[in-house]
Amino acid sequence: MQASADTLKSEVRSYWNAQPCGTQFTSLPWGSREFFADVERGRYASHPFLPEVAEFKAFAGKRLLEVGCGLGTDLIQFARACASVTGVDLTPQSIELVKTRFALEGLPVDARVSDAENLPFADESFDVVYSFGVLHHTPDTERAIREVHRVLKPGGRIIIMLYHLNSMRMWLGTPLHRFKQLLETGDFRKGAEDWIRVYDGAQNPLGKAYTQRDMERMFAAFHDRKYSVHHPIRESLPPIVSAVSQRLLAPWCGFFLVIKARK
């Protein structure tokens, strides 16, 4: 079982190292100011709710850890607002780009290659742990959550997003995906789990989604648990369609399920 989990984690590392999360927002060469600016523009155009949900400006003077920091797009928002930031990612490519990005802005960062299931920090090290769309990509998500709890100070806060199983994407997409599989391979068995996986690319080796009830169990060690649901938008959609989607549909059937809680 352990060998299988280690193999899967290695596949996850290879996949995201080849295409760090955020590079899908731009066609510019990696590592320049223009590249990072384009990534940032694309992220918040498609995730307009994120600055408020993540509370980028709320943690001045606090020690904040982002688990799965990608290119550091969110992490640098916290740093600009005077948080003391640490970012970990499973992929060396992402960490090198994070260091480049922070150096370009002259901001300090502790950026490390690390496994979410084995965080390299002492107990009770951070005031805040943030992770957006990452922990469902590690084989043992519940172990990663226990690690988050371990490194968080008493009274510290979490802001974590996992994919939402009770979402329109799952309700509508799973039957269509199964039908596509049937046409292409004659196999009708691949369903919800495979549909979640391919959200981040056809070759993505792992993706999972959870209900709020699942998360109540998984985050039971945390207190004051509050949830919200969100969904990204496509810039190609007419503004009225995007507005209706964000205001009427996303709050109850969006694909992003966010938990905020305290230790």
pLDDT of 1 above 50: no
Nearest of 12, 156, 8, 28 to residue 89 by alpha carbon: 12
Q: Is 24 part of any domain?
A: yes
Question: Total structural domains in the chain?
Answer: 1
* pLDDT tens digits along 125-179: 999 999 999 999 999 999 999 999 999 999 999 999 999 999 888 888 777 776 6
For the whole model, what pTM was predicted?
0.92
> Which domain CATH number covers 49?
3.40.50.150
Q: What is the pLDDT of residues 71-107, one digit of tens each?
A: 999 999 999 999 999 999 999 999 999 999 999 999 9
The predicted-structure confidence for 107-120, as pLDDT tens digits, reads as follows 999 999 999 999 99
Tell me, yes or no, whether 28 lies in a domain: yes
Q: Which two tokens stand for residue 78?
A: 């916290």
Q: Is residue 172 part of a domain?
A: no
| 202's tokens | 């056809």
Looking at the domain assignment, is residue 193 inside a domain? no
Helical (H) or strand (E) element with 150: helix 141-151
Token couple for 45: 């155009």
Classified as helix, coil or strand, 68 is: coil
The answer to the question of residue 223 being in a domain is yes
Give the bridge partners for 227, in sequence order. Answer: 259
Q: Which domain holds residue 146?
A: 2-165+201-262
DSSP E strands, 25-166: 63-67, 84-89, 110-113, 126-132, 152-163
pLDDT for 240: 63
Distance CA 129, CA 157 (A): 6
